[in-house]
Structure 1
Amino acid sequence: MSDRLTQLQICLDQLIQQFNATINYVNTNSEPSLLDEDEPNSYSNMAANAPVPQAQQQQQAQQQQAPAQAQQSQQQSPAAQAQQSQGQSNSGGSKNAATPVQEEANFDNTVNELSTDLILKSRQINMLIDSLPGIGVSPEDQLSMIYELSADLKLVEEERIAKIKEKDALLKVLERLIADVATGISDTRM
């Protein structure tokens, strides 16, 4: 597990990605509207009157092709329709063209979900910030904590060195035992 500052940096990066994804979703899926309703010919409304982006045109064309494909499937034989409906039910359902009311409801639900994700990530960031040391702690208290941690670190380091010496001693004993066993085996074979 990483330290709190690294976690905070990761959360901030994720928040930026979520902001970017949310703005991109709203930008590509919302209907253009006038920004300044008092003055329809203002410069701020030129973006609303601009041509539709190419990605949005492709999306609209795909939505218009869906009803044409539905008409073609109605003209197919009943056996072909049954096969196609089985294939669609296996793949998760049919792709019918959604009505504008359904599209608006889906858009609203998605925007609500994205905004909830942003709020949750913001709360997570606030919790990480609140857990950082130094907030509400005087510099003297921080120094005393550092001295205590330094003393604990020295004790742990001494224990580590003692364990290393113990390990080295045990290795020497083990080497002697292995040498004695090897010598004993070779003496019995002669």
Structure 2
Amino acid sequence: MADKLTQLQDALDNQLTLMYAAMNYIQTRQPYSAIPGQPNQAPDPAPLPTPDTVAAPQSAVSQLTNGDTSEQQPNGPSQPPPQPAEEVAADGRPRTPPPERPEVFNRAMRDMARDLVLQEQQIEILINHLPGLGNSEESQVMRMRELEAELREVEAERARAEEEKERMVDMLGEVIGKVKRIP
């Protein structure tokens, strides 16, 4: 398991990815708005898909985590999912997808907002579990000195145990050398 700072960085990266995806979706798929007193010039929206022609929609978080909702991978994959190649219009500019119907767009906006809030809550949890929060710099320095002293003691104990082991191996070698094989 990664340390808390790596988990926090991964969570922040996913938050930025979700934000970018939401902004891109809003920019490219928002439905046309009617201007009061003006004729509606919006193109006819695409027909709504039937349930048997479309698989169940996935939220942005489930796409980022490849559908894995276990606690083993809370921050999703290390790389974003592959994006389809953009189509190009006859004039060479990228073709944008048609606007969504308002009810589809609003449902997607709610899903994206929920995903962003959940990711933000995960970031808050990670921040609250960072070591050192609530301690002054002096207390942290003092704690580091205590840990260094404890580390020196443990290292000295390890060195003594290593010497004891070497002495025991030498003694065992002498005992084995003195034992004669009985024919």
Please give the TM-score of this superposition, normalised by the length of structure 1: 0.51
Cα deviation, residue 173, structure 1: 4.1
Whole-angstrom CA distance in 2 between matches of 1:133 and 1:156:
23
Whole-angstrom CA distance in 2 between matches of 1:33 and 1:176:
93
Q: How does 1:131-170 map to 2 (within 5 A)?
A: 131-170=129-168
Whole-angstrom CA distance in 2 between matches of 1:27 and 1:138:
45
Cα deviation, residue 176, structure 1: 4.2
Query: What whole-Å deviation, never above 9, does each CA across 1:115-162 have from its counterpart, x for those lacking one?
Result: 212112212222333333454322222222112221222222223223
Root-mean-square deviation over aligned CA pairs: 3.9
Indicate conservation of the 8 Å contact 2:4/2:130, yes or no.
yes
Whole-angstrom CA distance in 2 between matches of 1:178 and 1:32:
91
Query: What whole-Å deviation, never above 9, does each CA across 1:15-69 have from its counterpart, x for those lacking one?
Result: 11221222233334332447xx69x9xxxxxxxx9xx9xxxxxxx5xx69x89xx
Q: 1:18 to 1:169 in 2, by over 3 A?
A: farther
Whole-angstrom CA distance in 2 between matches of 1:32 and 1:165:
80
Q: 1:140 to 1:24 in 2, by over 3 A?
A: same
Indicate conservation of the 8 Å contact 2:31/2:101, yes or no.
no
What's 1:75 paired with?
A: none
Greater CA deviation, 116-125 or 161-170? 161-170
Please give the TM-score of this superposition, normalised by the length of structure 2: 0.53
Indicate conservation of the 8 Å contact 2:31/2:105, yes or no.
no
Whole-angstrom CA distance in 1 between matches of 2:178 and 2:10:
58
What's 1:46 paired with?
A: none
2:90 paired with 1:113: no
Supply the AA of the counterpart residue of 1:10.
D
Indicate conservation of the 8 Å contact 2:11/2:123, yes or no.
yes
What's 1:86 paired with?
A: none
What's 1:9 paired with?
A: 9
Q: How does 1:18-33 map to 2 (within 5 A)?
A: 18-33=18-33
What's 1:77 paired with?
A: none
Structure 2 stretches lacking a partner, 5+ long: 55-99
Whole-angstrom CA distance in 1 between matches of 2:102 and 2:165:
70
Q: 1:177 to 1:132 in 2, by over 3 A?
A: same
Give the count of matched residue pairs.
134
Whole-angstrom CA distance in 2 between matches of 1:132 and 1:108:
36
What's 2:52 paired with?
A: 94
